[in-house]
Amino acid sequence: MSKTPSRSTPQAIRGTQDIFGADAEAFAFVVETFERVRKLYRFRRVEMPVFEKTEVFARSIGETTDIVSKEMYTFEDRGGDSLTLRPEFTAGIARAFLTNGWQQHAPLKLATHGPIFRYERPQKGRYRQFHQIDAEIVGAAEPQADVELLAFADQLLKELGIAGVTLHLNTLGDGDSREAWRAALVEHFRAVRGELSEDSQERLEKNPLRILDSKDRRDRAFVADAPKIDQFLSDDARAFFEAVTSGLDAAGVKWTRADGLVRGLDYYRHTAFEFIPDEGSEAASKLGSQSTVLGGGRYDGLMESLGGAPTPAVGWAAGIERLAMLVGEPTESSSDLIVVVEDDTRLTEAFGLMRSVREQGFSAELIAEGSNRKRFDKAKKKPHDVIVSLQQNMGHSVSHENSDAPVLQAIKPYA
Ligand code: ATP
Ligand code: MG
């Protein structure tokens, strides 16, 4: 008999998830597909620390961004250093590129995945510990890197079976274009300053581009008629963007121009993009208000903010949970073989059989607990190709619906 615990059981931390069952299968499917496709594109795996010195994020993402100003899990360790649980991969990868001398491998195509931490208000599709897949091309200045990276994202979504999601593409121009655009935006928004949300009034001074990213209804009207980047693009920046878009067309990647799209972080230049569910699509209804599944862009200015030499780079990240919500219910996978032990003296034989079948590359499950008479019925209820039941007096039975089941070859003496 279990006794009532004297103290109540601790609860999980708000915004974290215990992922199990169909959700866990969908999660694994996303990661496995990412791993498979990144190999097709020849991206190399990299494993990154979950925490970094706080300045890695503060300096590269930007002090005025939501992430750095409100969302980071920052703490002092026992040695008195300020550390932060990674709120994204890119800054840590940039730090690693500089501290390890990875310049020698440039251009370097990297892929990774794992937990990410942001102190946000938890809701459907938004957590405090979530997971990302991430792809970066570091040390590549040419627009073909952007094309390669986006083709990877596009193929990944296709292979996940996700439909009704479109690539929204913009350019933020080079440094000069961005500055001119910024000045025009400040002028535009200053004229209506009092009517903007409090957050956007603050953004006006620090980073007006970010007002375009505002989700606040009060800002929407003024965002809609704000000056567009196209008026301010230098010839170089325009040529760069045209090379990206014609490359995408050639690679068969569908895209749509979104001239109001900006990314929340300071380090972006040139290409910026998000994959967003189409309005009214099934994907949109599954995700609710958390709409962006994959986002990224070119971050040519980032390495310098970490004290490195100018290093052009482009990358994206996608939330595994949000992708998993779109891949639908995976069908429960079935065992190639279930071995039922109806006579306990035959357990050792069952172990041998299981081992041999698995070594031949088939999945196998053992049922040898509970009442002997009920074991076979239990097996029948589980998805399977073949059941071998070991009975008294060295007898056995084999049941299957398909006499071509490949595992039958592997259990010849029984079949
Ligand atoms: P959002 O606008 O939804 O806050 P973001 O611009 O902050 O997204 P990024 O920093 O670009 O997101 O992160 C890339 C991806 O990570 C997002 O497109 C989304 O799929 C996922 N993501 C971001 N924040 C969360 C979160 N709190 N919980 C779950 N997934 C998230
Ligand atoms: Mg966010």
Q: Domain locations in the chain?
A: 22-174+234-326, 335-410
Strands of 36-107, DSSP E: 44-45, 51-53, 73-76, 82-85
- What is the Å distance from ligand 1's center to 178 Cα? 24
Atom of ligand 1 nearest to the CA of 264: 6
Q: Which residues does ligand 1 sit against, CB inside 6 Å?
A: 88, 118, 120, 125-127, 130, 132, 264, 290, 292-295, 317-319, 321-322
**pLDDT 10s digits, 179-235:** 899 999 999 999 999 999 998 998 888 888 889 988 889 999 899 999 999 999 999
Q: What is the pLDDT of residue 288?
A: 83
pLDDT at res. 7: 83
Distance of CA 260 from the midpoint of ligand 2 (Å) = 17
How many Å lie between the centroid of ligand 2 and the Cα of residue 65?
10
Q: What tokens were used for 289?
A: 């208000």
> Which one of 322, 325, 326, 327 would you pick to mutate in the ligand 1 pocket, going by the greatest count of ligand atoms within 8 A of its CB?
322
Give nearest CA residue, ligand 1 atom 2.
292
Of all protein residues, the one whose alpha carbon is nearest to atom 11 of ligand 1 is 295
Q: From the CA of 353, how far away is ligand 1's center (Å)?
A: 47
Atom 30 of ligand 1: nearest residue by CA position: 319
Say how far apart CA 237 and CA 188 lie, in whole Å: 23
Taking the C-alpha atoms of residue 230 and residue 338, their distance in angstroms, rounded to an integer, is 63
Closest ligand 1 atom to Cα of 322: 20
CATH dotted code for 22-174+234-326: 3.30.930.10
In the reported structure, the alpha carbon of residue 183 is separated from the centroid of ligand 1 by a whole-number distance in angstroms of 28
Residue 151 confidence (pLDDT): 98
Atom 6 of ligand 1, residue of closest alpha carbon: 264
Q: Which ligand is nearest to the CA of 263?
A: 1
Instruction: Compute the distance between CA of residue 298 and CA of residue 266 in angstroms, rounded to an integer.
Output: 11
Contacts 24+ apart (CB under 8 A), 288-293: 288/124, 288/125, 289/123, 289/125, 290/123, 290/124, 290/125, 290/126, 290/322, 292/322, 293/157, 293/162, 293/165, 293/318, 293/319, 293/322, 293/323, 293/326
Reported residue count of the chain is 415
Site to substitute for ligand 1 among 290, 298, 314, 325, most atoms within 8 A of C-beta: 290
pTM equals 0.92
Task: List the residue whose alpha carbon is closest to atom 10 of ligand 1.
Answer: 88
66 Cα to the center of ligand 2, angstroms: 7
Please name which of 110, 91, 111, 109 lies closest in space to residue 99, comparing C-alpha atoms. Answer: 91
Number of the ligand 1 atom closest to the C-alpha atom of 213 = 2
Question: How many angstroms does the Cα of residue 278 sit away from the middle of ligand 2?
Answer: 20
Q: How many CB atoms within 10 Å of residue 230?
A: 15
Considering only CA atoms, which residue is closest to atom 29 of ligand 1?
126
What is the distance in A from the centroid of ligand 1 to the CA of 59?
20
Q: How far apart are CA 97 and CA 90, in angstroms?
A: 10
Contact 295, 275 (CB under 8 A): yes
* Cβ-Cβ contacts under 8 Å for 137 (sequence gap 6 or more): 107, 108, 109, 110, 145, 148, 149, 313, 314, 315
**Alpha carbon of 83 to ligand 1 centroid (Å):** 22
- Predicted pLDDT of residue 5: 58
| pLDDT tens track for 153-174 | 999 999 999 999 999 999 999 9
Name residue 386's beta-bridge partners: 337, 400
**Structure confidence at residue 267 (pLDDT):** 77
Say whether the peptide bond before residue 122 is cis (omega within 30 degrees of 0): no
Kind and range of the H or E run holding 61: helix 54-61
What is the CATH number that goes with domain 335-410? 3.40.50.800
pLDDT (tens, 9 = 90+) of the chain, 415 residues, equals 455 656 899 999 999 999 999 999 999 999 999 999 999 999 999 999 999 999 999 999 988 888 998 999 999 999 999 999 999 999 999 999 999 999 999 999 999 999 999 999 999 999 999 999 999 999 999 999 999 999 999 999 999 999 999 999 999 999 889 889 999 999 999 999 999 999 899 888 888 888 998 888 999 989 999 999 999 999 999 999 999 999 999 999 999 999 989 886 777 899 999 999 999 999 999 998 778 999 999 998 899 999 999 999 999 999 999 999 999 777 778 999 999 999 999 999 999 999 999 999 999 999 999 999 899 999 999 999 999 999 999 999 999 999 999 999 999 989 8
pLDDT computed for residue 175 by the predictor: 86
> What ligand 1 atom has the least distance to the C-alpha of 132?
16
CB 295 within 8 A of CB 274: yes
Ligand 2 centroid to residue 262 C-alpha, Å: 13
> 313 forms bridges with which residues in the sheet?
138
pLDDT of 265 reads 74
Dist CA 290 CA 293 (whole Å) = 8
Question: Which ligand is closest to the CA of 87, given by its number?
Answer: 1
Q: Which atom of ligand 1 is nearest to the CA of 295?
A: 11
Nearest C-alpha neighbor of 397 from the set 338, 356, 334, 333: 338
| Pocket mutation for ligand 1, best pick of 130, 275, 293 (most atoms within 8 Å of C-beta) | 130
From residue 28, give the alpha-carbon distance in Å to each of 124, 265, 330: 19, 29, 10
Distances (CA, A) of 275 to 112, 128, 211: 19, 22, 20
User: Cα of 125 to ligand 2 centre, how many Å?
Assistant: 11
